[in-house]
Each structure stands twice: as structure tokens, then as C-alpha cells.
């Protein structure tokens, strides 16, 4: 599938009152701290308008899933906690990871279950009050994700002996069916695994550093 440049990011939020967001467990509660644009990373998040042109779907063959070991992390599933953080904190490390997908430097995958988790999280009245965004802004950004990510259409397999929290097994299933070599998450239950069937599980900061190292070579 031909990847095209995406120019679909939601408008920035000007009132971020906290570094961390507390969400229910089902929403992957651990959110990464925003990065300093001068010290954390050389990559900057993209900005653009709301127009949505197409839906990316996970191709049956992805060249990144067949690469050598050092390039494998470029093909990754991005978890709900990371996406929520990217929306709430446009200058954060999660937002920078999402921007790398826009720039074609990595292939980011998400299932419909993950997309729905993000939608439910951003619809919570408490989150809307605390971070001063509108439901329209959140919905526009949610629609943009379908152009910025590879959406997994294949049925998710049943995972046996997966995460210590079975509610997180769908993330492992998404990585398996998409051919991803990494899972980007802030969820401690997933991070505690370290790896799953040769799929690396890492937080956004670790993922960004890995990509920067690969890019520098």
C-alpha cells in the first residue's frame, strides 16, 4: 500500500494544566511526560487543518515488518494511552512519535478497539474540563487518526498466556496480526512483559530514542 503524506493533525490546545492524565485502567492510564522541544528530541510535531481524505488500512504485506532486526521497531502498534497523550499535549513525546508516522519514518498501526478506547477517553467530561478542549475538536482529531494510522481490519486473534491483565490482550493481538515489531504504550501491565513473541514493548520515550538512533546511522 502506498503511504502518502498526512497533513491531518488537530489544532493545538493552549491550556494543559497537568503533565499526567489519570484515566480508567481500560483507557491505559499511564501517560508520558511532554518533551522539551530543545532537549528531548530533534523531531517536531506536525500541525495542520482538519480535512480528512482517506482511511489507511493495514496492508497484507508491510516492508517494515520484513526488515532487519535493527529496523523492526519502525513498524509498531500505538496504544490508546499514547494517542490520548498526543492529543492533550501537542509538544509531548507521544505527539512527536505520531508526527514521525506522518513523516513516513515509521508505520503506526491501531485496531478499531484502540480507536474506540481513545474516543471514549476524550469524551469524558472531566478530561474536557481539565484540558479545555471542545468535543468538536476531539472528534476532528479522532477522524484524522484514520488518515494518520494504519487501521487494522483483520480479525484479532485470541491471545493465550498474554498480559497479566487480560483486558490488554487485544493490544498484543493487534501487534501480532499487523506484523508490528513494537508496541508503544504507557500501560504498566503491557510494559511489564518487555517483549511478546519477539515484539518489543516500550514507552514512547524509548521508542523515540530508538528511532533517532536508527535515523542517525
What DSSP string runs through 176-208? HHHT-SEEE---HHHHTT-EETTEEEE-HHHHH
Q: pLDDT tens digits for 31-61?
A: 333 333 333 333 333 323 333 233 344 443 3
**Least confident segment among 17-26, 74-83, 158-167:** 17-26
pLDDT over 90 percentage in the chain: 41
φ/ψ of 86, rounded to 5, equals -60, -35
pTM: predicted TM-score of the whole model, two decimal places: 0.69
Q: Which residue has the cell 518487555?
A: 194
pLDDT band per the 50, 70, 90 thresholds, residue 165: low
CA distances from 20 to 43, 86, 141 (A): 21, 12, 20
Strands, DSSP E only, in 81-212?
Answer: 107-111, 150-152, 182-184, 195-196, 199-202
Domains present along the chain, CATH in parentheses: 53-58+69-216 (3.40.50.1010)
- 37-74 exposure pattern, b = at least 16 Cβ within 10 A, e = fewer: eeebbebebbeeeeeeeeebebeeebebbeeeeebbbb
Give the pLDDT confidence score for residue 190 in this predicted structure.
87
Give the pLDDT confidence score for residue 65 in this predicted structure.
40
CA distances from 47 to 102, 125, 185 (A): 10, 25, 23
Amino acid at each position: 500500500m502506498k503511504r502518502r503524506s498526512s497533513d491531518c493533525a488537530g489544532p493545538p490546545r493552549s491550556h494543559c494544566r497537568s503533565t499526567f492524565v489519570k484515566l480508567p485502567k481500560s483507557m491505559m492510564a499511564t501517560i508520558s511526560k511532554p518533551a522539551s522541544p530543545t532537549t528531548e528530541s530533534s523531531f517536531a510535531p506536525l500541525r495542520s487543518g482538519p480535512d480528512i481524505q482517506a482511511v489507511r488500512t493495514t496492508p497484507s504485506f508491510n516492508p517494515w515488518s520484513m526488515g532487519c532486526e535493527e529496523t523492526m521497531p519502525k513498524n509498531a502498534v500505538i496504544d490508546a494511552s499514547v494517542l490520548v497523550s498526543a492529543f492533550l499535549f501537542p509538544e509531548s513525546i507521544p505527539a512527536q512519535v505520531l508526527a514521525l508516522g506522518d513523516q513516513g519514518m515509521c508505520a503506526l498501526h491501531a485496531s478499531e478497539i484502540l480507536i474506540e478506547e481513545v474516543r471514549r477517553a476524550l469524551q469524558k467530561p472531566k478530561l474536557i474540563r481539565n484540558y479545555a478542549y471542545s468535543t468538536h475538536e476531539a472528534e476532528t482529531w479522532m477522524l484524522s487518526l484514520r488518515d494518520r494510522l494504519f487501521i487494522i481490519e483483520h480479525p484479532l486473534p485470541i491471545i493465550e498466556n498474554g498480559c497479566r491483565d487480560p483486558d490488554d490482550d487485544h493490544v498484543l493481538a493487534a501487534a501480532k496480526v499487523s506484523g508490528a515489531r513494537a508496541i508503544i504504550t504507557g500501560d504498566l501491565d503491557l510494559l511489564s512483559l518487555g517483549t511478546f513473541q519477539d515484539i518489543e514493548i516500550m514507552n514512547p520515550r524509548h521508542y523515540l530514542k530508538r528511532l533517532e538512533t536508527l535515523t542517525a546511522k
